[in-house]
């Protein structure tokens, strides 16, 4: 493990930002700390950086406990949420700052700065001041500045929050590419699951100061371990009691269930493709149809419970009030803090994924 | 239907004219006429009397005291203001609100009360006097904090101490601390961070605060009046003007105006400096 957090606790007055947090990040990985706002993810990042000090526990970098090493000596590059570029310095001076502090010879500084300017594609803008740059350009400067002193670890706090939605997607892939190119171990904080899923190799989900789950994006998506993760990841609706549904008779009674739209299939009773599965389906009525641009989201009432399902625009048109067959492939049933997958028993032996 | 205005915020022309009229009349009556009167009165009996008035021994002594008090007050308050503004914006601690409110006391308290409080504390009857006496004995000095130049300086410091910190606090607050943290992440130490990151940001606000502080220090009357009773020794320019005017002879009144014109001149210089600083500061934002 390159970076390790061992039983970290931290509180600010009554607010507990980290509760016994432990995790490790392997060298070269790009990891996302994902959680809702106020979950403590930024505090965790700042503790790794040394900008915040944990109440108890150890921060280990490269096998060395760095608890007492000041931020500036941990060999970490940090990209701040609003970039925190030095506004009275030019792009060049911003990138050169860390090297100047280290009293590197002038030619060496110049060489390194120009190398970075080229890497992030800011040639010709060296003499600009931060307020003369666009949001995306500022992010590039912040990135180059953090990398200038050759850190072994890069930390980014909400790196895309200050950028408008249109450019954000573009920058995500840019940043991912850059980090891969430089080959630096990186941890970034985000509240946007789409961002985490798209950019990170691994995701750490934080809620109320506790680590909920750590794993690859697909693993977290497919196998949420806790009820929080099941609800937080993906679009999900919470159902109060699910045990009455066909195929879920053996699910524990009186438990909440989480359903994602992709777990639900709605088809007309004369559908050819789903003909063999019609016995496993419940009957439902369309209550609402929302147009999502490239697909429809149907709200269906089944046994007095409202479910949502997505429907491709390529399929036959449907209308509100229409009767549909509703097939539920699987659901997450919540038990206390944990989430368990229950598959529709009536579909046993059917290759659902081949449908 | 009437023609639609583009912004919806444009006033009718007569409203604007009325507001301009009110401002100009107010400005003339309250400011321009009295100041012109000062200059006119000061030169009314000829240049010779004017020069005599502003080179009189008492006037020069008053000018000296005023400058000493102003320079000291500015130096002390700049240092204190920087510390206080830094403390109040970059740190979290108990009693922060209280301290922040305390700094403003000189704004809300009558300066005379400040002066009297100094007499009560450091005067012959004051509780701090034995300590000062003891200090004088040990050091072989003869410092006295009331009815003396140090007293004048103290009173001036008291009434002007919020100016610098009040100018700096909003600027430092707006800046936040992430730029400093960024510098610290790259290994910069306290003083480097201050010099390269914090100071460039606050320099115009600092200069602006210093000018306001100096202007107030030069013109202070009430607090100084309470602790300064010796004309020709501890009087400042405003006190000297008051003394000349109160003497009541035709000559001394003219002299009072002559000395006043000196203060007006200083005020104008301050005003110009303030404008320049404001302008430069804005341009850099």
CB contact under 8 A, A88 and B181: no
Nearest to A76 among B185, B192, B200 (CB): B185
- Which is more confidently placed, B20 or A167? B20
Of the residues B90, B182, B195, the best mutation for testing chain A's interface (the one with the most A CB atoms within 10 Å of its CB) is: B182
Query: Which of A89, A101, A156 is the mutation pick for testing B, counting most B CBs within 10 A?
Result: A101
- pLDDT band for position A353 (50/70/90)? low
Per-chain mean pLDDT for chain B: 87
What mean pLDDT comes out for the span A306-322? 89
* CA nearest to B179 within chain A: A84
pLDDT of res. B1: 46
* Residues of chain B found within 8 Å of residue A85, distances taken between Cβ atoms: 179, 182
Q: What is the residue whose two structure tokens read 């003891």?
A: B134
Q: What are the φ/ψ torsions at residue B82 (nearest 5 degrees)?
A: -60, -45
Cβ atoms of residues B121 and B127 within 8 Å: yes
Give the tens place of pLDDT for each residue, A221-256: 888 888 889 888 887 778 877 777 888 877 777 788
Burial (0-12, 13-18, 19+ Cβ within 10 Å), A185? buried
Between strands A282-291 and A323-328, the pairing is: antiparallel
Q: Which DSSP state fits A9? A: E
The shortest CB-CB distance from A98 to any of B181, B187, B284 is to B187
pLDDT at B4 over 80: no
Q: Among B179, B187, B284, whose Cβ lies nearest the Cβ of A86? A: B179
Contact A294, A313 (CB under 8 A): yes
User: A74 to chain B: nearest residue by CA?
Assistant: B185
Q: Is B49 exposed, middle or buried (0-12, 13-18, 19+ CB in 10 A)?
A: middle
Longest dimension (CA), chain A: 78
Q: Which two tokens stand for residue B156?
A: 């001036």
Put simply, the answer to whether B185 touches A51 (Cβ < 8 Å) is yes
**In this model, does residue A274 exceed pLDDT 80?**
yes
- Residue showing tokens 């200038």: A148
Q: Could you tell me if B196 lies within 8 Å of chain A, comparing CB atoms? A: yes
Q: Do the Cβ atoms of B182 and A84 come within 8 Å?
A: yes
Q: How far is B183 from chain A (nearest CA, A)?
A: 8
Query: Please, is A247 exposed, middle or buried when counting C-beta atoms within 10 Å of its C-beta (0-12, 13-18, 19+)?
Result: buried
Confidence of residue A125 (pLDDT cuts 50, 70, 90): very high
Give the 3-state DSSP-derived string for A146-189, with helices as H, strands as E and coil as C: HHCCCCCEEEEECCCCCCCHHHHHHHHHHHHHHHHHHCCEEEEE
Structure tokens at A22: 């432990």
The reply to whether CATH 2.40.50.140 applies to domain A235-354 is yes
Tell me how far CA of residue A199 lies from CA of A159, A181, A264, in angstroms.
Answer: 11, 14, 28
Tell the residue number behind the tokens 């639900």, with chain if given: A264
And the tokens for A100? 């100047």
Q: Residue B7: what pLDDT?
A: 58
Q: B192-196: long-range contacts at Cβ-Cβ below 8 A with a sequence spacing of 24 or more?
A: B192/A101, B196/A86, B196/A89, B196/A97
Identify which has the larger pLDDT, B126 or A85. Answer: A85
Q: Please, are residues A341 and A267 in contact by the beta-carbon 8 Å criterion?
A: no
Q: Give the pLDDT band (50/70/90) at residue A354.
A: low
Q: Say yes or no for a CB contact (<8 Å) between A97 and B187.
A: no
d(CA A60, CA A5) in angstroms, rounded, equals 6
Stated as kind and residue range, the H or E segment containing A324 is strand A323-328
- N-term to C-term CA, chain B: 43
Q: Is B178 on the interface with A (CB under 8 A)?
A: yes
Question: A51, B179: Cβ pair inside 8 Å?
Answer: no
Residue B184 is nearest to which of A72, A77, A86, comparing CB atoms? A72
Q: Using the beta-carbon criterion (under 8 Å), do B179 and A71 form an inter-chain contact?
A: no
- CA terminus-to-terminus distance, chain A: 41
The confidence band for B204, taking pLDDT boundaries of 50, 70 and 90, is confident
A52: nearest CA partner in chain B: B181
Contact criterion met (CB below 8 Å) for A80 and A152: no
Spatial CB neighbours of B247, under 8 Å, sequence gap ≥ 6: B253
A277, A335 contact by CB (below 8 A): no
pLDDT given at position A279: 82
Hey, is A349 helix, strand or coil? coil
Q: Can you give the residue ranges of every domain in chain B?
A: 46-284
Q: Is B174's Cβ below 8 Å from some Cβ in A? A: no
B43 touches chain A (CB under 8 A): no
Q: What are phi and psi of B45, to 5 degrees?
A: -100, 25
Q: Decide if B187 and A101 are in contact by the 8 Å CB cutoff.
A: yes
Asked if B200 reaches chain A (Cβ–Cβ under 8 Å), the answer is yes
Alpha-carbon distance of A184 to A181, in angstroms, equals 8
Asked whether the beta carbons of residue B183 and residue A145 sit closer than 8 angstroms, the reply is no
Q: Count A/B contacts: CB-CB distance under 8 Å.
A: 61
The superfamily CATH assigns to domain A3-223 is: P-loop containing nucleotide triphosphate hydrolases (3.40.50.300)
Interface check for B104 against chain A (CB to CB < 8 A): the answer is: no
DSSP state of B225: H
> Which residues on chain A place their C-beta less than 8 Å from a C-beta of chain B?
49, 51, 70-73, 76-78, 80-82, 84-89, 97-98, 101-102, 145-146, 148-149
* Continuous H helices in A186-317: 193-199, 217-222, 227-232
Q: Give me the residue from B178, B186, B200 closest to A97, CB to CB.
A: B186
B201–A76 CB contact, under 8 Å: no
Q: Is A88 within 8 Å of B201 when comparing Cβ atoms? A: yes
CATH number 1.10.3720.10 is the correct assignment for the domain at B46-284: yes
B201 part of contact set with chain A, CB < 8 Å = yes
Percent of chain A with pLDDT over 70: 99
Render pLDDT for B41-88 as a digit per residue (tens, 0 to 9): 888 888 888 888 889 899 999 999 999 999 999 999 999 999 999 888
Reported as type and span, the H/E element at residue B15 is helix B13-27
Q: What is the DSSP string of B146-184?
A: SSSHHHHHHHHHHHHTHHHHHHHHHHHHHH-SHHHHHHH
Report the C-alpha gap between B135 and B140 in whole angstroms: 8
Q: Which residues pair with A23 in a beta bridge?
A: A5
Q: Which residues of B touch A73 (CB under 8 A)?
A: 187
DSSP secondary structure letter of residue A57: E
């Amino acid at each position: 493990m390159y970076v390790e957090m061992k039983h970290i606790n931290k509180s600010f007055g009554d607010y507990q930002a980290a509760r016994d947090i432990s995790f490790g990040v392997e060298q070269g990985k790009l990891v996302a700390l994902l959680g809702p706002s106020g979950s403590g993810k930024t505090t965790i990042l700042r503790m790794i950086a040394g900008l915040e000090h944990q109440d108890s526990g150890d921060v280990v970098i490269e096998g060395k406990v760095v608890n007492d090493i000041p931020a500036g000596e941990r060999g970490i590059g940090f990209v701040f949420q609003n970039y925190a570029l030095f506004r009275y310095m030019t792009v060049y001076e911003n990138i050169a700052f860390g090297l100047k502090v280290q009293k590197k010879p002038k030619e060496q500084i110049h060489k390194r700065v120009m190398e970075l300017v080229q890497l992030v594609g800011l040639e010709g803008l060296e003499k600009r001041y931060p307020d003369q740059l666009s949001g995306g350009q500022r992010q590039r400067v912040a990135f180059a500045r953090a990398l200038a002193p050759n850190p072994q670890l890069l930390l980014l706090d909400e790196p895309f929050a200050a950028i408008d939605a249109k450019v954000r997607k573009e920058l995500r892939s840019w940043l991912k590419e850059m980090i891969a190119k430089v080959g630096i171990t990186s941890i970034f904080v985000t509240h946007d699951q789409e961002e985490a899923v798209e950019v990170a190799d691994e995701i750490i989900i934080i809620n109320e100061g506790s680590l909920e789950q750590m794993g690859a994006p697909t693993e977290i998506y497919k196998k949420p371990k806790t009820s929080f993760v099941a609800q937080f990841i993906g679009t999900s609706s919470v159902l109060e009691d699910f045990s009455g549904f066909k195929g879920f008779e053996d699910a524990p009674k009186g438990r909440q269930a989480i359903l994602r739209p992709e777990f639900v299939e709605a088809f007309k009773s004369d559908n050819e493709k789903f003909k063999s599965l019609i016995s496993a389906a419940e009957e439902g009525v369309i209550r609402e149809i929302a147009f999502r641009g490239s697909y429809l989201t149907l709200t269906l009432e089944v046994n007095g419970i409202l479910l949502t399902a997505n429907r491709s625009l390529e399929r036959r048109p449907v209308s509100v009030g229409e009767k549909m067959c509703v097939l539920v492939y699987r659901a997450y049933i919540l038990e206390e803090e944990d989430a368990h997958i229950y598959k529709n028993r009536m579909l046993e032996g059917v290759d659902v994924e081949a449908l | 239907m009437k023609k639609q205005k583009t912004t919806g915020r444009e006033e009718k022309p007569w409203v604007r004219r009325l507001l301009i009229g009110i401002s100009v009349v107010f400005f003339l009556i309250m400011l321009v006429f009295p100041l012109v009167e000062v200059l006119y009165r000061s030169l009314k009996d000829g240049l010779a009397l004017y020069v005599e008035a502003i080179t009189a021994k008492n006037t020069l002594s008053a000018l000296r005291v005023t400058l000493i008090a102003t320079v000291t007050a500015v130096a002390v308050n700049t240092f204190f203001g920087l510390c206080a503004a830094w403390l109040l914006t970059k740190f979290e601690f108990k009693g922060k609100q209280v301290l922040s409110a305390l700094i403003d006391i000189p704004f809300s308290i009558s300066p005379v009360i400040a002066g009297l409080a100094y007499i009560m504390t450091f005067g012959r009857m004051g509780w701090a006097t034995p300590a000062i006496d003891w200090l004088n004995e040990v050091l072989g000095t003869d410092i006295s904090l009331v009815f003396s130049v140090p007293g004048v300086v103290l009173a001036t410091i008291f009434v002007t101490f919020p100016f610098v910190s009040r100018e700096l606090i909003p600027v430092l607050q707006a800046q936040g601390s992430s730029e400093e943290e960024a510098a610290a992440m790259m290994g910069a130490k306290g003083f480097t961070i201050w010099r390269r990151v914090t100071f460039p940001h606050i320099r115009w606000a600092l200069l602006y605060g210093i000018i306001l502080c100096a202007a107030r220090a030069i013109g202070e009357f009430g607090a100084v009046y309470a602790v300064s009773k010796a004309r020709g020794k501890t009087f400042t320019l405003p006190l000297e003007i008051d003394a000349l005017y109160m003497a009541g002879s035709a000559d001394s009144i003219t002299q009072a105006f002559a000395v006043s014109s000196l203060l007006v001149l200083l005020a104008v210089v301050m005003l110009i400096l303030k404008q320049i600083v404001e302008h430069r500061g804005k341009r850099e934002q």
